[in-house]
Amino acid sequence: MKKIVSGFSLIEIMMVMVLVLVLLGGGVSQMESVVAGVKLDLLVYQMQRLLQVARVQAVSRDEAVVVCASSDGVVCGGAWRDGVLVQTVAEPHDKIAFYKHHDARLFLDYRGFGAADKVIVRAEGSLKQQNGTFTLRYQSQQLQLTKKLIMNRSGRVRVTHLNQ
């Protein structure tokens, strides 16, 4: 009687291992894209929330409110990526809100007409300057995602997706 031997050869096992590694490698790069998109969406949401808080507080307090870059959360100054501060114009130490992200791959910048380093919301909820744009970007060696928050003079904000 002949004995039947069953099993896999070394070459078959190696081919399966290579195939699994290739599939896992593609999944890891897709995972970074998903995580980056979520982090960028969170930053967009936080900025929309801060701008809405500034409008609501300006109208409810009946006084101007400023949204500015702040590295310490107490006074305006520094880069936008260091933190964003919302405070009243009349009482600069009257802090309403502060947000700081902790991911070095997230970038935040503001360009506006008039006072380019801050956004001033008047007591009626409109902006003191014309229009302004916040550029929010996630950047790593393999990936770059960008969104923009565009504010019109009335203080309304819309989001544009530049690349996904």
Q: How does pLDDT run across 37-47, given as a tens digit for each residue?
A: 999 999 999 99
Residue 116 pLDDT grade (very low, low, confident, very high; cuts 50, 70, 90): low
* CB neighbour class for 14 (10 Å; exposed up to 12, middle 13-18, buried from 19): exposed
CATH number at residue 155: 3.55.40.10
For the chain, the domain total comes to 1
Cβ-Cβ contacts under 8 Å for 11 (sequence gap 6 or more):
none
- Quote the CA–CA distance of 85 and 98 in Å, as a whole number: 5
Whether residue 144 lies inside any domain: the answer is: yes
Whether residue 136 lies inside any domain: the answer is: yes
- Are the beta carbons of 125 and 155 closer than 8 angstroms? yes
pLDDT tens digits along 11-55: 888 888 888 888 777 666 677 888 889 999 999 999 999 999 999
- Are the beta carbons of 152 and 164 closer than 8 angstroms? no
Whether residue 124 lies inside any domain: the answer is: yes
pTM: 0.78
Give residue 16's domain range. 11-163
Whether residue 5 lies inside any domain: the answer is: no
